[in-house]
Amino acid sequence: MAKVQRDNELIQLDGGPFGALSFEWQQDRYRHAWTFLDSDVSIQSLESASDDVWPLSAPLQQIHSQSFGDGREVIFGVGMAGRGHWSASFTLVPDLKCWIVELACRSNVEPERLLSSYEVLRSGSPAPLEICDQTIAVDPERGICLEAIAPGTLGEVDAAAGIDVACRLRFLPAQISSSSITTQWAFRLRVP
């Protein structure tokens, strides 16, 4: 059964031991964040101003959740910014102990950038991250990590984060076409 987002209410998908994903209205789009029961880490999307044509994260303006018979829980989102039409799905897959995030942007002009940007907070103080290839451990003790999973998706870390931010990271397509096309990228949040 699908639940459509209305009146800017907070929508949350509680994944139990795999964390909770919440969406909260901020200016003209939804900001999303994961929190975890037994970790002091939270992962929050970085959102751009409403006039940013190529935002830091997908500008999700409509969301809804849906449960499937096989146990998957999914939150779908769509939105627009500049000349881009964005879509995203956030799927809780308990059997794989992860969330899978799939994003796409369709534009009839070449995008300046396509990103999914996050800040990782840890009780108000920075924490070192373990990075190996395209896997970024945001809570190494607990085993919580983010990793690029789609072919052509890159994961990057911005080490120049502020004092209250453990890290800023982003996932992006390795290549953006100059022609009118839909560009896709994906990553996974593993929570053992």
According to the model, what pLDDT value does residue 163 have? Answer: 45
Residues of the chain with pLDDT under 50: 1-2, 4, 162-166
According to the model, what pLDDT value does residue 124 have? Answer: 60
According to the model, what pLDDT value does residue 165 have? Answer: 47
* Helix, strand, coil abundance in the chain, percent, nearest 5: 5, 55, 45
SS3 16: helix
> CA-to-CA distance for 15 and 21, rounded, in angstroms?
8
Containing domain of residue 40, as a range?
A: 2-190
DSSP state of 37: T
| C-alpha separations of 95 from 92, 140, 189 in Å | 9, 21, 13
pTM to 2 decimals?
A: 0.90
Per the structure, how many domains does the chain have?
1
User: Length of the chain in residues, anyone?
Assistant: 192
| C-alpha separations of 143 from 15, 19, 147 in Å | 16, 13, 12
> CA-to-CA distance for 37 and 64, rounded, in angstroms?
24
Going by C-alpha positions, the residue among 111, 125, 115, 64 that lies closest to residue 89 is 64
Buried b (16+ CB within 10 A) or exposed e, 157-177: eeeebeeebbbbbbbbbeeee
DSSP for 127-157 reads: ---EEETTEEEEETTTTEEEEE-STTEEEEE
